[in-house]
Structure 1
């Protein structure tokens, strides 16, 4: 292996760890914001529970290694071009994720990572180091983005629909009993959300390491140590907690009673599990959690959703599909002299 390839491989591993840490910190509110806001769990207990579930989820993602290989591009560039593609995609995803976190915006780092890979692949095609059609077929890109686009739509719709039977079933119950049952469901579904997020994040990090190993011609080096390391990095990041985004989800964007919060949390957890284990699709825990909260908030007699704030969040979602791709294209093109 050339010295430059060895340095790039080390940087890919370093940035993968950084991606896992930031992802855990940013996405902790997806699991803990509603349980903490409704007093189902204390902040400390919620963070510890989410970190433990993220670790377990990361380890369980090792069972999806076959699915990870299926998601790899048909032709991974060999040597430095392939390593730079992985490195640049992670760098722009980290930068965009941190930028959005500073502003309290719940965005999908999975979106940022995928479009970063597409932007870097386009740069390699322009500089003549790879074939974009061989690297990213339209079918592959469409399949990966379709899951990310459909998840918020399904989350919103399911939450909106399921609030009606939930409130009907609780119509004759005492408010205290309903809230107690809702808080219990929030504690359980919050743990399930963290577990699903750990599986999705572990698969994403394993994908990036698999891409790097494929670039150096060592695919056999990918083993169970990768998802375990991914789970550890995400769990450690979770302990820091992204309270800026938790405030956005539960106060700035919408306020829910415990019953509707329980419905929203159950819907987002269910989508993550179906996407991970049944369909093997990359789903965004941020989009699922945010959309399910909005869907449950819309189905109330009083206006709970702050639509100007929601429009701002959607604006960041759309920008996530553009800004990281442009940044990755520029950075990968600038790095072409390394080849």
Structure 2
């Protein structure tokens, strides 16, 4: 039974990574596709490869997830907690994907972990949740918004005397680099989050007694994230690429460069698991505001931000219900 529970939990974790990939593929490539810098299939293939590479760049975020948010549970109850957390996150991912809402897969996972932990009666490290999850959830979009605005202002000043058509062609080429940087950062952030959960499952099952990430876990999580990315998230791509604001190549380059910079800083300096969705969305808003404030469709932006706020509690409630259902059925 313990082996079966471990296999089920790891399998669900990998499926979560797959949904994370197709849910968040828009983060890396929506701007490049909307500005016609890349064709959709070429953009998805590039994002899949860079996601795969990004997953091997570090382990700080994974350790934050496996050690810093909830007490490592033990026994069959502990495995049920992880299972419920993952199902809660997957459920919210699928709901928001269906409605084309770019919510955060990361915060769905964290909400699921907290909700399942509370339902299972194990400790939640609230200081870790606040410092590593809640504060970055507010700070990173603000930084993305302001930095996106500043980067776009610098670009406008530097190229103020350039031929507009020639400049746009150059930025369309540059966007292939900035989109690749975004995809690499996405792999660095999001693959590690699932790695942290799988390590917890292996620890609960007494397969290992340390928090090092086995190579097979890195490969499996990276591969599933890449497969999910290549499957694409067309509904969300439309929201990010066109419904917030119509982007041109310089704006797309500025938004992607801003978001990638924030992700690398959060990953390597703070080991903070931030939301790639939050960062790229806020960067797009900041970049768009340089044209004129009214150019950004703030009504769409407001709905997206509301989704950010309800993601963690919604996933937490679903995870708690799933945990109680599992305990009711299996005891």
Confirm or deny that 1:122 pairs with 2:118.
Answer: yes
Give, in angstroms, the shift of residue 316 of structure 1: 1.4
* Cα distance per residue 1:48-69 (max 9 Å; x no partner): 1101001111233458665555
Q: How does 1:45-124 map to 2 (within 5 A)?
A: 45-61=42-58, 69-71=66-68, 73=70, 75-124=71-120
Confirm or deny that 1:172 pairs with 2:168.
Answer: no
Greater shift after overlay, 178-187 or 99-108?
A: 178-187
- Pick aligned residue for 1:269 from 245, 260, 263: 260
- Pick aligned residue for 2:178 from 189, 194, 197: 189
Q: Which runs of 5+ in 1 are unaligned?
A: none
* Cα distance per residue 1:232-251 (max 9 Å; x no partner): 00111111111111111121
Give, in angstroms, the shift of residue 42 of structure 1: 1.6
Alpha-carbon distance between aligned partners in 2 of 1:26 and 1:65, rounded to the nearest angstrom: 20
Secondary structure, counterpart of 2:77 in structure 1:
helix
Q: Under a length normalisation based on structure 1, what TM-score does the superposition of the two structures give? A: 0.91
Secondary structure, counterpart of 1:40 in structure 2:
coil
Q: 1:68 to 1:154 in 2, by over 3 A?
A: same
- Match of residue 301 from structure 2: 310
4+ residue segments displaced more than 4 Å:
62-70
- Match of residue 198 from structure 1: 187
Size of the aligned set, in residue pairs, is 327
- Pick aligned residue for 2:291 from 297, 300, 307: 300
- Pick aligned residue for 2:201 from 212, 221, 235: 212
- Match of residue 132 from structure 2: 144
Q: Which runs of 5+ in 2 are unaligned?
A: none
Give, in angstroms, the shift of residue 17 of structure 1: 1.5
Q: 1:295 to 1:277 in 2, by over 3 A?
A: same
Give, in angstroms, the shift of residue 267 of structure 1: 0.3
Query: RMSD over aligned Cα, in angstroms?
Result: 1.8
Secondary structure, counterpart of 1:303 in structure 2:
helix
* Cα distance per residue 1:173-215 (max 9 Å; x no partner): 1112211222122110100111111111221111110111121
Alpha-carbon distance between aligned partners in 1 of 2:64 and 2:174, rounded to the nearest angstrom: 31
- Match of residue 314 from structure 2: 323
- Match of residue 154 from structure 1: 143
- Match of residue 26 from structure 2: 29
Give, in angstroms, the shift of residue 144 of structure 1: 2.3
